[in-house]
Structure 1
Amino acid sequence: MKKLILAAFVGLLSNFAVAQNINFGLKGGAIFNTDKGEVFKDAGNIFKKDGKASAGFQAGALARISLAGIYIQPELLYSQYKNEYDVNGDNFNVTKKRMDIPVNVGKKFLGLAHVQAGPVFSYYFDDKISYKDIKDAKQDNFNVGMQIGAGVEVSKLLFDLRYEFGFGKVASEFIHDSYDYKTENRPQMLNLTVAYLF
């Protein structure tokens, strides 16, 4: 009986998805972080120095809701990227891990291409710093940004290139050898991804 009810429920959901032109999919790709970031020592009283941007990756799921000639595409993505710093000969990385919820509105044209734009809401849940003897470390948790992009669609495959920029800066703060370090960067990146729609 339970299997019958479950099968009926899944059938109803499938019929609803078809009726409402909703498709689901998986996506993944590379992040090319273009913001070098900055590092401050003792809250900036001693120096401020640029870092070096490094590539990362993202992966997750999406839904595409088609209506009236446009589509709305919410996504749930795990993203990871890092910045590299050299402070008086000490080299270290700050790796940022976050969950992203982009909500893009797009338009298809020529039956093959699309353009899209929309906000992205990011939750930073873990900053990894490559120093082993960190006494304390903390990071900003939330940021809101914007994505603008274009892509092509081949059968059920979606190829996207998006430019993303944050409206605010995100920071990490930690203590090493009694010094207080703070890194800041304003998310600016190119996201090159491929998705498969079911």
Structure 2
Amino acid sequence: MKRLLLSFVLVALTTSLFAQLPISLGIKGSINSTKITTDNAIAGASSYTLNDLKADAANGFNVGAFLRLKHNKVFLQPELLYSVQKGKTTYSIPTSTTQSGLEGAVTQHMDVKSVQIPLLLGVKVLDLKVASVNLMTGPAMSFILDGSEITLNKTDGVAVDPSLYDPSNFKNNTWDWQAGVGVDVAMLSLDVRYAWGLTNVSEGVSNNDPTVIGFKNKGNTLTLSLGIRLF
């Protein structure tokens, strides 16, 4: 009951504060380019390390909505987005590993689907009358959804037996830090952001099976967004 009452008070105070600020609501769509970095260690085979690691950026998208709460030149912008991020990493697994079938050059593809909630603090740095320029930064939390997957392929294109690795080894939620610049023209908002991954997207082996390999993966993402403010 105390927690329920405290939650009610916090919601009431927040609503009261927001009610004093000019609020705008909008929808947005984005394209993103994510580079997935992989830890050099092989979980499940801790005495071995990967060789010739190389991360390549891959494209995905975001769609969702945002609020903007303004106070003079400063604004708070929470967002709710459905996000699809993809990445590719290539490396060489030593032939001395016990996981027969994984040795040699391997390409790891990641397809991460999530609900993302950025909370950005922004400031208008330039007002050109017909347009304004903003800077923004803040944290974002993502809830990883079912359907996210990791796939491994040998360099000849043959899929690796999924019993040798964990294809659904994702954390429940992740954090990153975003920063960028935006331009507002009439009811349109265009922004470019870069997000630094603060936590791993996948980590170790979820079933704790020492015969299964898992990889620590973290992503950094460049996003280009176009939004329309509805009011």
Q: TM-score range by the shorter chain?
A: 0.7 to 0.9
Q: If the length of structure 2 is used for normalisation, what is the TM-score?
A: 0.67
Bigger drift between 71-80 and 180-189 goes to 180-189
Is 1:189 matched up with 2:193? no
Question: SS in structure 2 opposite 1:180?
Answer: coil
* 1:53-98 CA distance string (max 9 Å, x none): 3222111111111123311100011111222244524444121111
Q: Tell me, in whole angstroms, the C-alpha distance in 2 between the residues paired with 1:43 and 1:100.
A: 32
Alignment of 1:83-122 (within 5 A): 83-86=87-90, 88-111=104-127, 112-122=132-142
Which structure carries more strand by proportion?
Answer: 1
Structure 1 residues 44 and 193: CA distance shift in structure 2, 3 A: farther
Identify the residue that residue 144 of structure 1 maps to in structure 2: 175
The unaligned stretches of length 5 or more in structure 2 are 1-17, 93-103, 153-158
- Please say if residues 143 and 174 of structure 2, whose CA atoms lie closer than 8 Å, have aligned partners that are also in contact: yes
- Please say if residues 38 and 51 of structure 1, whose CA atoms lie closer than 8 Å, have aligned partners that are also in contact: no
Bigger drift between 164-173 and 153-162 goes to 164-173
Q: Tell me, in whole angstroms, the C-alpha distance in 2 between the residues paired with 1:186 and 1:92.
A: 13
Identify the residue that residue 55 of structure 2 maps to in structure 1: 52
Equivalent of 2:79 in 75, 78, 86: 75
Q: If the length of structure 1 is used for normalisation, what is the TM-score?
A: 0.77
1:179 to partner: Cα distance: 4.7
1:194 to partner: Cα distance: 0.9
Q: Tell me, in whole angstroms, the C-alpha distance in 1 between the residues paired with 2:144 and 2:88.
A: 18
Identify the residue that residue 26 of structure 2 maps to in structure 1: 25
Is 1:155 matched up with 2:186? yes
- Please say if residues 24 and 64 of structure 1, whose CA atoms lie closer than 8 Å, have aligned partners that are also in contact: yes
The count of corresponding residues between Structure 1 and Structure 2 is: 180
Q: Tell me, in whole angstroms, the C-alpha distance in 2 between the residues paired with 1:35 and 1:90.
A: 15
Identify the residue that residue 5 of structure 2 maps to in structure 1: none
The unaligned stretches of length 5 or more in structure 1 are 1-16
Structure 1 residues 44 and 31: CA distance shift in structure 2, 3 A: farther
Percent identity between matched residues is 26
- Please say if residues 41 and 47 of structure 1, whose CA atoms lie closer than 8 Å, have aligned partners that are also in contact: no
Cα-Cα RMSD = 2.7
Question: SS in structure 1 opposite 2:50?
Answer: strand
Q: Tell me, in whole angstroms, the C-alpha distance in 2 between the residues paired with 1:162 and 1:106.
A: 12
Q: Tell me, in whole angstroms, the C-alpha distance in 2 between the residues paired with 1:36 and 1:146.
A: 16
Identify the residue that residue 36 of structure 1 maps to in structure 2: 37
Q: Tell me, in whole angstroms, the C-alpha distance in 2 between the residues paired with 1:68 and 1:110.
A: 13
Question: SS in structure 1 opposite 2:37?
Answer: coil
Q: Tell me, in whole angstroms, the C-alpha distance in 2 between the residues paired with 1:179 and 1:94.
A: 21
